[in-house]
Amino acid sequence: MHNKKRNIISGFISTVLGIVLINFAFSSCERIYEDLAPCPHGVSLRFIYDYNMEYANAFAKKVDCLTLLVYDENGNYVDTRIVTGTELQDENYRMKLDLKQGNYHFVAYGGLACNKSSFLMKYTPGEGTGYTDLQVELDSECLTNPKRKNLHGLYWGELTLATADLYSEGTVEMMKNTNNIRVVLQQMNGEPVDDKKFEFEITDDNILFSYDNNLLENGMVTYTPWAQGQASAGFTDEGREVVVAYAELSTSRLMVRDWYSPKLTVRRKADGVEIINIPLINYLLMLKSDLYASMDSQEFLDRESEWSMIFFLSPNLEWIKTYIKINDWTVIIPWAISLLFRGCAHDADSEMFDREVPLVNLNISVALSDISQSGTRASDIYPEAPVNDNEKMKTLRIIVVRNNDNIVEHNRIYNLEVASTDCYSEPMKVIGNEKKRIYLFANEATEIKTTGFFPKRKLVECDFEKIQPGSLFFTDYISSLTIRLGSNMERIDGPLPMSGLYMVDVPAEDCERELSIMRAAVKFTFNITNKSSRSIEITKLTIDKMAEREYYLPHNATYIERETTEGTKFWDINSFDVPTLKGYYTYDASSLFKGQLLPGDENTKTNEQPIYLLEGKHSDDNNKENPYLLTLGVNGTELKSYLPNLPQLPRNTHVVVNITINEHAMDCIVDVRPYTEITLEPDFGL
């Protein structure tokens, strides 16, 4: 009996002691004693790569080396960890980092630290550098050295995570930045195709990555095949082997963007003729089909990294532009599609139309539209100056697209400075009794001065001459075109870009449609009057929250017809959309205003050169209704004021800012005007 009691008591003591020891072990992570080592504190990171078309984690199979960069919550560099061992092949691999308490941002690169890596850091991260300094670029030797043209895979991912005792767990989701494209040439009659008779290349501007994995403009490069040869495609019914030519090209990330669209080109060596010259992105996106209709175009391009394209040739080794096969999907292209982009055809060949359909004459008249700012408009106390040359149409392009099958019927451009008036009223022969989309683009070739290495660049990076009548119109691509201003001193300096898009019904008889086109810009005029008792020196003038990008075509714009007190009717922009990946900058107009201004009403300083900036709508938490902040430097002091009556900046408006300098402050009155009651020349179509 005593022995039994003794055993019960001993068991009880052991249990209690065990609980005490467990509690002590866990409490020691919260209280550090001198005789105990501190508990681990930091993060435990898992890495996955399932951003692919299979939605399956392939990290262990695809990533053979790993570089992890650690930044603190302010974006300052903390540390670099590199792993090149076989542990990456373990599905359960975790990277544990002991870090001080805080929030950290982690950037991971797969394939960067390997001996056979194709990419390298442009600047070595270290003390004094920050997260936004990160840049990764393709090793230029990979473009020329045959042994390195097959790019080693590059993967990228990032994560923000706070530390914790016994390690905070997080997952870094990675994506692939490299592609392999296999191009196959096959004769329709089954005759063999010799690869040595052709040259293959892809041109793109996609070798420099920013900190957020987006591409930076760096100049066009040319990718050439890392493998090329012949292959058997099977046998004909007659037992003849079908031999095709192929080439494989490896490229950096493919992106939908506005400054350059990659091109795939195939040339005959014998005469140098380009038998294939296509916008690569547009064709790859044809594969998206209905299976991936809900998937964003960029996500589709990022998830898919292995591409195969089969082009069918005629006996004279020219591409038969009827259909191609991409990744085993047959892409049907309507008859007479021609995206070779050679020449400047203006009209669709009448032979492309079914002889049974009604052909009618469509006469299109185009005039500049008068659009004003939504909201209360000030009285016309400041008369509008005559329109300068930059506000006129210098060139006008009209593209007519059949809405039912997305085929281009006409693509015409007019030089309005030299053409006769007969050209303006020339009718276009189109298929009647159906809907058309009519695209209007004016001054498309405008260039702007830059502060970068190249003194000028095109405002709109699109070659509209490549849109051939009879071809498929790439609606999404044209719709996504943007206009970009780069630095804080860039503005549109030249003929203003203009655009318009209309859906019109064309009956089964000749008709005329009157359309308008809008300036894709906002005009600013500043009038500064010194009403103080002293002379002032203007040293600075800036406007905050100016948009870096706007859509070339208006996006989801709605209009309301309004009337001035004088009875003039005009269209007022009620709402519009801006690019999702928009950025803002502070525009610096100081150089246009520097100088002395004497006191007195008659002494007003006005910018002699009009300022043209981009459409935008910014939400400012400090001033939601008037988000645009003006800063004026006067006698070494900065005066600030939010611009009233300016909740947003729609295109085709003229913003007149009247600034009055008083003894110790400034007052701002903003008059937002349409381009109204102005004679616009040339009088196109009217």
Q: What is the pLDDT of residue 257?
A: 79
Q: Which amino acid is at 113?
A: A
Q: Going by C-beta distance under 8 Å and a sequence separation of 6 or more, which residues neighbour residue 171?
A: 45, 46, 47, 48, 159
CB count, 10 Å around CB of 487?
12
pLDDT, residue 447, reads: 79
Q: Cα separation of 169 and 94, whole Å?
A: 9
Q: What are phi and psi of 397, to 5 degrees?
A: -115, 135
Cis peptide before 627 (omega within 30 of 0): no
Which of 462, 651, 676 lies closest to 555, judged by CA? 651
SS3 sequence of 598-649: CCEEEEEEECCCCEEECCECCCCCCCCCCCCEEEEEECCEEEEEECCCCCCE
Please tell me the distance from the alpha carbon of residue 525 to that of residue 643, in angstroms, as a whole number: 13
Q: Which helix (H) or strand (E) holds 525?
A: strand 522-530
Asked if residue 517 lies in contact with residue 366, where contact means CB atoms within 8 angstroms, the answer is: yes
Pairing of strands 155-162, 241-252: unpaired
Which pTM does this prediction carry?
0.51
Residue 375 corresponds to which amino acid?
A: G
Phi and psi at 545, nearest 5°, equal 65, 35
Which parts of the chain have pLDDT scores under 50? 1-28, 30-34, 332-355, 371-384, 418-424, 453, 675-686
Q: How far apart are CA 617 and CA 627, in angstroms?
A: 9
Residue type, position 124, single letter: T
Distance CA 443, CA 464 (A): 12
Whole-number Å distance between alpha carbons of 407 and 336: 10
Residue type, 552: Y
Question: How many angstroms separate the Cα of 78 from the Cα of each of 71, 97, 231?
Answer: 5, 12, 52
- Residue 426 is predicted with a pLDDT of 58
